[in-house]
């Protein structure tokens, strides 16, 4: 039997998160950060926090990093 890997994050939330990564300040931060595990942590935090789409903002991105 093959097991499918299913994401618990909705497609529209993925899209909102990737749009968030297009902000110049976040792009600059990610260019500076060597450890991309931080990015994975933010994605996990957003998923577990059950954020609404309107909450995918720069401030929430940086708050998730410092949680």
Q: What is the DSSP string of 6-52?
A: --SS-HHHHHHHHHHTTSHHHHHHHHH-S-THHHHHHHHHHHHHT--
Q: Which residue has the higher pLDDT, 6 or 17?
A: 17
If DSSP codes are grouped into helix, strand and coil, which group holds residue 56? coil
Q: Which pLDDT score, from 0 to 100, does residue 24 have?
A: 92
Condensed to tens digits (0 to 9), the pLDDT of residues 15-64 reads 888 898 899 988 888 887 777 777 888 888 888 888 888 888 999 888 88
Phi and psi for 35 in degrees, rounded to 5? -90, 100
d(C-alpha 58, C-alpha 3), whole Å:
35
């Amino acid at each position: 039997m093959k097991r499918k890997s299913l994401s618990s994050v909705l497609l529209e939330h993925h899209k909102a998160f990737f749009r968030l990564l297009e902000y110049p300040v976040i792009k600059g931060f990610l260019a500076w950060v060597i450890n991309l595990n931080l990015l994975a942590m933010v994605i996990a935090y957003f998923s577990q926090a059950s954020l609404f789409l309107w909450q995918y903002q720069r401030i929430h991105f940086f708050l998730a990093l410092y949680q």
